[in-house]
Structure 1
Amino acid sequence: MLDASGSLVGQRKLVHKRFKRIYGEFGWGWKRVGQLPMRDQPLLSAVVSYGQKTTFLTKSPTDQFPEIEKAFGMLKADQSGQENVFTAICQVMSLWGHYRNKQGRQIMLVAITDEAGDDHGAPLEVAINRCRRKGAKAYVIGPAAPFGARKGYVPYVAPENGKTYQLPVDLGPDAAIPSLVRLPFWFSGPQYNRPPLSSGFAPYALARLVTETGGIYFMSKMTTMAGLTPLGQYDAAAMRPFEPDYSYASPADCLKDIAKRPLRMAVYNASIASRQYQANSTPQLNIRVTPGNFKQVASDAQKSVAESGLMIDQILQAYPRGIENAYANELSPRWRVAFALSYGRLLAQKVRCMEYNYACAQLKNDLTPQDVSSKSNHWIFRPDSKLNYAAPFKKVAAEATRWLETVVNEAPGTPFAVMANRELKDPLGLKVIQRYVPPVQRRPGRPNAVATPNRPRVLFANKKRKNTPPPAPKPPKPPKLPRL
């Protein structure tokens, strides 16, 4: 079963070239060996493509390799941008599921895709039920899901103008419901959004399909375009304790289950709140002022972190008092580190905002216009190992660090630890380096010319120009971006 989307054109050609060898390994051309009874047709194969619609490229399963090879050449790219893989599985099982009943054959479905599928939900559950009734196993070759996100991004160079555009594609989510807060990192370093950080797991719907039917998900970069593969490669043994629960048929089923578990519900609520209350990224770290504007500039800098602090406080309301007790009673490693990572990051960002806010307040209150004009008109903010301004938040800083270090210690070699280490990369305190840069002196202008006595001047009419300027060129048409 081949994904017919435009993003897999090159990969389908590669599979086509290698298919003869692959099919041979699965039994094409098997012959009788000794007295062992063998069916005349031990292995039948069919080729199906899917996108917005399903196309059966072979009329029926066959053991004739030329027909199978011909089917690959008949595949046409689907430009709709939809990948209805679960609907395709339902149709395949409806059409050819009788091979199990009437001929006693084992049915194996192999889907090659570079996305998560657009029709998860009811079609997924129907596909699972039909496969299970016939004993069919589903196997998928596809990409990893992004960590805590749904979208990945493919760089596309438009031939119309040569510009590169980041086209979104559905690669996730990796779990039934979100469990990570959306929060930008401060200072230099990756944000893990474009390209996204790999979750180390398959897209949830495809993973549920193979899990419920007894198949396997083969995570492969072969199915992704350049720039699509999420960052991060992890050891399978290290990741196993943090595997999502694939037993939920829908997000509603998952929410119904976690409603009885306060820590899981708090983690989910915080994740949803972070999509509504969005904190700002790194504030200004290099500020130049003058004696006349330094107070206003400092106040403007405070506004950015004050807004972020308000957003973070709104998200933190998702965690009820005594949530630490619920953490102690939580048995799932995945939910434990999801809580510790999100809660630790929120506390850390709150401290960063307050430290910056206090530092700006001290600058505008302690400095005078004379100071700014003689010794402090350039402020540089740098991370520091201790809180130099927001002393009341030292306990919060220690708690944030403790939770983030818990993630690193309990989940080494996982994307949870990658995110925690990224937050811990820069300490929570700040130091402000004050410098004085002498203002550039303007060169004295030329002396005013001596006024000349008024003289009568003869005016001549300007000749009309025969050549009118050419009309302004029309703006170029926006490029036609493909749907992936």
Structure 2
Amino acid sequence: MPFVRCYPWLLSLGLALFVGCDGVGIRNPFAKPAPAAKQTVAPPAAAPSPGTKQPNGVAARQAREAEARGTMIRTASMRGGKTSGGGAMEERLDVHDAVSRIGDDLKNTIEYSPALVVWMVDTTQSASALKRGFQEAAAKFYQELGPALAGKAPDQLTSAVVAIGGATPQFLIDNPTSDMAAVSDQIAKLPSDDSGAEPIFAAVDKALDKYGKFQSQNRAVAIVVVTDEAGDDQDMVDAVIAKARPLGVKVHAIGVPAPFGRLSGLMQTAESRRDGKPAIVQGPETRRLQRINIDFNSAGFGSQEIDSGFGPFALNYLCRSTGGAYLIVRSSALGSWPGNANVYGGEYRRKYPPQYISAEEYQQLLAGNKALAALDAVSYLPQGGALSAPATNFRAGDEAALKRNLDSAQRLPARLAPPIDAIYNRLSDAEGDRDKITDPRWRASFDLALGRAAAAKARTDGYNQMLALLKGGRKFENPSHDTWMLEPADSLAEAGSRLEKVRKQAVESLQRVIDENPDSPWAELAKRELETPIGWQWNEA
């Protein structure tokens, strides 16, 4: 059956099967953005004016080309296998899968319209495994492209290649070429950069200046960014979107998931920076951080690291805003991140998508709600430590020695308290606006932050207060006992009503996170916080 006749059927099938990536429809990379209000099949091209003659087949060909450029095709080819993670089913692609899906839609496009693809590849050290995978996948794509180009114009598909790394991008194939062997050869010879600098958005901005004009020449244009990071210049995203939209250029990305509420995943050793910037930046999935930085009492290696299920915000926002897609790749071959980090998908991603809005709109949200503003502010405060492995056994008998031991033990909470208080006080003061939060992601984030901050304060101040009480004197119930043992408990009543109120606030907030956000990263972190009782009691031996 000719494709032009089965096209509506394929569109319906794609819509029926569509799941998407990062909560975004995976659309034809080379189609112009459709109107924002609806996703509809483009109307057929207008019939020629009466009396106007068209060469045989020209009108039909023009109609097909217009349809290919103007319709967002959601195809089953952009979906992949599923694997379980985080209690849900989540897509797991490798680099070959991602390149293959973009390649399949590219082949669909060149069936009816000339196209230009601009490959922009991160060449820094941390992206070396991703780059190798892309080189292999791109070589296969160009090797298998021949049949799709059979009978087409020599320049039906042209390509450009850009290396990202260092202060400025390298346009390795500057003038788009239809020489597939030359493109494949250049991709195979991509350089390596040891600076660690990744000005991704400045590079895309320059590519738009250079190649955006081709879209107005009836050639579909797509930029594909291949990177393992979020970009050093994420603050440029709004300006780049404003430039890309009028041009009709779609931007896609192949990269790793953002770590949940964090700037980077587990390891920072792949690169070193000489400019003082973080070596690795892979997140967060939201425009700004929405997660406090307080250690867990029972912290283990990687205990706070969760795969967010979304790409880093700025790149994801750029892709979505231009009608493109961010394809998340997860593979052990990529290195330490995402590795075995827990993954949530399914209902979590549908219910809790980040708000893809401009910086100005984001600031308006913060200005309109004290709880949101407080969460934003405390997410950038210095890290709060955990009261892990404190002294808990104190032998009586020698009063001077007991006092020295208690004084020494109290130094730990005295050191931990200031950063914890700064986080807790700001959140607690803004709790009155919590019920005004309508977005489920923001609400879960605020509840988790308040619950964790209150838990840290209750444990730290409670420990300090219980030591102070022992300093004031305490008698053993059993005269044969000589040691006081401070143990975790589900109460701080002995430490005073103020701290018991904070403890209850922590438990209520954390339990609310679990009850209202099941099978989510927030619930996982709240459960982890509640693994250790938020309180203290004295026992004797």
TM bin, normalised by shorter chain, reads 0.7 to 0.9
Q: Which residue of 1 aligns with 2:325?
A: 216
Q: Which residue of 1 aligns with 2:289?
A: 178
Deviation (angstroms), 1:401: 1.2
Q: Which residue of 2 aligns with 1:354?
A: 461
Q: Which residue of 2 aligns with 1:269?
A: 377
Secondary structure of the corresponding residue to residue 97 of structure 1: helix
Deviation (angstroms), 1:343: 1.1
Tell me which of 431, 434, 446 is aligned to 1:339: 446
Q: Distance in 1 between matches of 2:364 and 2:260?
A: 23
Q: Distance in 1 between matches of 2:264 and 2:489?
A: 35
Is it true that 1:205 corresponds to 2:314 in the alignment? Answer: yes
Q: Distance in 1 between matches of 2:539 and 2:338?
A: 40
Q: What TM-score do the two structures reach when normalised by structure 2?
A: 0.68
Is it true that 1:389 corresponds to 2:494 in the alignment? Answer: yes
Contact 2:370 2:430 in 1 (8 A): no
Secondary structure of the corresponding residue to residue 302 of structure 1: helix
**One-letter amino acid of the counterpart of residue 220, structure 1:** V
**One-letter amino acid of the counterpart of residue 354, structure 1:** D
Deviation (angstroms), 1:303: 3.4
Secondary structure of the corresponding residue to residue 342 of structure 2: coil
Contact 2:452 2:529 in 1 (8 A): yes
Is it true that 1:401 corresponds to 2:401 in the alignment? Answer: no
Tell me which of 87, 108, 122 is aligned to 1:3: 122
Contact 1:154 1:226 in 2 (8 A): no
Secondary structure of the corresponding residue to residue 282 of structure 1: coil
Deviation (angstroms), 1:190: 5.5
**Higher mean displacement: 219-228 or 14-23:** 219-228
Contact 1:355 1:389 in 2 (8 A): no
Secondary structure of the corresponding residue to residue 245 of structure 1: coil
Contact 1:340 1:407 in 2 (8 A): yes
Q: Which residue of 2 aligns with 1:470?
A: none
Deviation (angstroms), 1:77: 0.3
Deviation (angstroms), 1:270: 3.3
Secondary structure of the corresponding residue to residue 57 of structure 1: strand
**One-letter amino acid of the counterpart of residue 228, structure 1:** W
**One-letter amino acid of the counterpart of residue 390, structure 2:** Q
Q: Which residue of 2 aligns with 1:425?
A: 531
Q: Distance in 2 between matches of 1:168 and 1:86?
A: 17
CA gap 1:329/1:224 in 2 versus in 1, 3 angstroms: farther
CA gap 1:31/1:54 in 2 versus in 1, 3 angstroms: closer
Is it true that 1:72 corresponds to 2:187 in the alignment? Answer: yes
Q: Distance in 2 between matches of 1:236 and 1:57?
A: 40
Q: Which residue of 1 aligns with 2:172?
A: 57
Secondary structure of the corresponding residue to residue 170 of structure 2: strand
Is it true that 1:144 corresponds to 2:257 in the alignment? Answer: yes
Q: Which residue of 2 aligns with 1:117?
A: 231
Q: Distance in 1 between matches of 2:362 and 2:519?
A: 27
Q: Which residue of 2 aligns with 1:21?
A: 140
Deviation (angstroms), 1:24: 5.5
Q: Distance in 2 between matches of 1:262 and 1:10?
A: 43
CA gap 1:280/1:189 in 2 versus in 1, 3 angstroms: closer
**One-letter amino acid of the counterpart of residue 435, structure 2:** A
Q: Distance in 2 between matches of 1:129 and 1:157?
A: 33
Is it true that 1:244 corresponds to 2:322 in the alignment? Answer: no
Contact 2:222 2:249 in 1 (8 A): yes
Q: Which residue of 2 aligns with 1:465?
A: none
Identity of aligned residues (%): 26
Q: What TM-score do the two structures reach when normalised by structure 1?
A: 0.75
CA gap 1:381/1:41 in 2 versus in 1, 3 angstroms: farther
Is it true that 1:86 corresponds to 2:195 in the alignment? Answer: no
Tell me which of 12, 16, 30 is aligned to 2:131: 12
Secondary structure of the corresponding residue to residue 115 of structure 1: coil
Deviation (angstroms), 1:177: 2.4
**One-letter amino acid of the counterpart of residue 219, structure 1:** I
CA gap 1:41/1:215 in 2 versus in 1, 3 angstroms: same
Contact 1:2 1:48 in 2 (8 A): yes
Deviation (angstroms), 1:322: 7.4
Is it true that 1:410 corresponds to 2:516 in the alignment? Answer: yes
Pairs within 5 Å for 1:251-400: 254-272=362-380, 274-275=381-382, 278-282=384-388, 284-287=390-393, 289=395, 291=398, 292-319=400-427, 323-324=431-432, 326-366=433-473, 375-377=481-483, 380-387=485-492, 389-392=494-497, 393-400=499-506
Secondary structure of the corresponding residue to residue 192 of structure 2: coil
Is it true that 1:227 corresponds to 2:336 in the alignment? Answer: yes
Q: Deviations over 1:151-191 (max 9, x none)?
A: 33436499xxxxxxxx9411123222232222122135466
Q: Distance in 1 between matches of 2:283 and 2:394?
A: 44
Q: Distance in 1 between matches of 2:440 and 2:369?
A: 14
Q: Distance in 1 between matches of 2:428 and 2:266?
A: 36
Q: Distance in 2 between matches of 1:310 and 1:363?
A: 23
Deviation (angstroms), 1:289: 4.9
Deviation (angstroms), 1:106: 1.1
Gap regions ≥5 residues in structure 2? 1-119, 272-277
Q: Distance in 2 between matches of 1:188 and 1:280?
A: 8
Q: Distance in 2 between matches of 1:9 and 1:190?
A: 25
Contact 1:116 1:171 in 2 (8 A): yes
Aligned length: 411
Contact 2:392 2:487 in 1 (8 A): no
Deviation (angstroms), 1:218: 1.1
Secondary structure of the corresponding residue to residue 114 of structure 1: coil
Deviation (angstroms), 1:108: 1.2
**One-letter amino acid of the counterpart of residue 246, structure 1:** Y
- Structure 1 vs Structure 2 CA RMSD: 3.2
**Higher mean displacement: 181-190 or 43-52:** 181-190
CA gap 1:151/1:385 in 2 versus in 1, 3 angstroms: same
Deviation (angstroms), 1:334: 1.3
